Amino acid sequence: MNRLKSIFKKQNAYGIAYFSIGALFLFWILFLDSHSWLTHQELNNEIETLEQRKKTLKESIEKDKKAIEQLNNLDSLEKYAREQYGHKKESETIFIIEQ
């Protein structure tokens, strides 16, 4: 009976040691390592924000390309200058009506 108790205590001690080492390893991998799960989550969030920013910038670029194509036409350029900057021909009189 004593022999059985000593074997059980020895196995229990090994089990506790294995569990402790495994838990410590898991904690290290998840939180403390340079390639940890937390670091990967932060990087994934940053990637998502950068992808969204990239998408908005591409849309802005497309909008600007369309504006540039329109401004290559002399009539469109004149219209844009009149509307945005208040340009006028020398012989014109402009009346601004505020609503």
* Residue 70 near residue 78, CB atoms below 8 Å: no
Whether residue 38 lies inside any domain: the answer is yes
- 24 and 52 in a single domain? The answer is no
Whether residue 98 lies inside any domain: the answer is no
Q: How confident is the model at residue 7, as a pLDDT?
A: 60
Whether residue 94 lies inside any domain: the answer is no
Q: How confident is the model at residue 8, as a pLDDT?
A: 60
Q: For 46-83, what is each residue's pLDDT tens digit?
A: 999 999 999 999 999 999 999 888 888 888 888 888 88
Q: Is the pLDDT of residue 38 over 70?
A: yes
Neighbours of 99 (CB within 10 A): 2
Domain that holds residue 81: 34-88
Q: How confident is the model at residue 88, as a pLDDT?
A: 79
Whether residue 27 lies inside any domain: the answer is yes
Closest CA to 10 of 23, 2, 20: 2
The dihedral sign for the CA sequence 59, 62, 68, 72? negative
- 27 and 40 in a single domain? The answer is no
Whether residue 62 lies inside any domain: the answer is yes
Tally the domains of the chain.
2
Question: How many C-alpha atoms does 4 have within 13 Å on its Cβ side?
Answer: 1
Looking up tokens 């838990």 gives 23
